[in-house]
Chain A
Amino acid sequence: DAGVTQSPTHLIKTRGQQVTLRCSPKSGHDTVSWYQQALGQGPQFIFQYYEEEERQRGNFPDRFSGHQFPNYSSELNVNALLLGDSALYLCASSLAGTGNQPQHFGDGTRLSIL
């Protein structure tokens, strides 16, 4: 039973560039959430996708955008990268309608901005 997979594992970009991170949810899950975990901090909710639409959004600027595909996989896009975007980006999946069940997390993509 494949868990949540994320790619790439590491990424180095420079300020002003754009980046795309990818996530495949756990088998059987249809909802994908993205979190940003800065060094020494807890994860912060970016947004959530279900049925290819953004359902909830945290306090992140429009530079952060996403997409969900028909196979439930998802992408996180960040434009005009800033030094402060350096973080571990975590993808979590769940099954819609099961709000009391835990989200399953991938191992993350570590993004470094130079």
Chain B
Amino acid sequence: QQPVQSPQAVILREGEDAVINCSSSKALYSVHWYRQKHGEAPVFLMILLKGGEQKGHDKISASFNEKKQQSSLYLTASQLSYSGTYFCGTGGNYGGSQGNLIFGKGTKLSVKP
């Protein structure tokens, strides 16, 4: 069950904020967020674990609502360098093992000057 990301695409002006959501139909143990620039490999941003704290670095943070099986990525005061496609990867909990990550289809974020 592939997680659903929303929105599919968003265009921002520099300095604006954005929220990207990731929802799953099954119980989650972890959510991993990645950013991919055009023609490059996905780059790890942060991981959120069930029962863990909200993560963040610089002006990018994320939350994990275990009951709703959702995670949100918050980009504050966006910069041109934030442009790219953001993917969430979700991990379940199968007898103590996370199992393999399942990735959403991505959210394309474009930051304009």
Co-complex (A, B): no
Chain A interface (Cβ < 8 Å from any Cβ of B) = none
